[in-house]
Amino acid sequence: MGILLKRALDQAAVWHRAQKRKYPNADVPYISHLAGVAVLLARHGFDDEVVAAGALHDAMEDQGVTFDELIQHFGERVATLVRHVTEQDRALPWEDRKRLYLEAFPRKPWEAQAITLADKIDNFQSIIVCSREHGDPWSMFKRGREAQIARFEELRA
């Protein structure tokens, strides 16, 4: 593991320290998801900045970390990649946010697309783990099984 990724994981653990995975009947720290995304990107040969951005991909969206804070800690490229994978208007309804994100997806840089895909793959892996160890995996999602599957299907298009 490179120094940049170590710093990114350490900082992500601090920023997300109170956040948990949505597993029913289990208290799993959110950093497990962020590390999972980073591992997927590293395994597929992405450079250290992309892997670090994968570890930090939810910092702005979930923790209110600013673009400038990311630049200060990790540089402009990492911050820009995180911004590319962050939903821009959290005030909009969930369905509208997801639709806007998907509409913009084809125009995003390949590295940002890869971070999004690694995020979805890790979420799928969590569904499998949850179903085996923690109960009904679809209970993790506010909108249930059908809405989640439809959302993943849209990325395929």
- Could you give the residue numbers annotated as active site? 61-62
What gap in Å lies between CA 25 and CA 55, rounded to an integer?
25
Query: 10 Å Cβ neighbour count for 141?
Result: 16
Reduce the DSSP state of residue 75 to 3 states and report it. Answer: coil
Query: 10 Å Cβ neighbour count for 69?
Result: 16
Which residues lie closer than 8 Å to 50 by C-beta, 6 or more apart? 41, 81, 111, 114, 115
Which residues lie closer than 8 Å to 46 by C-beta, 6 or more apart? 54, 111, 114
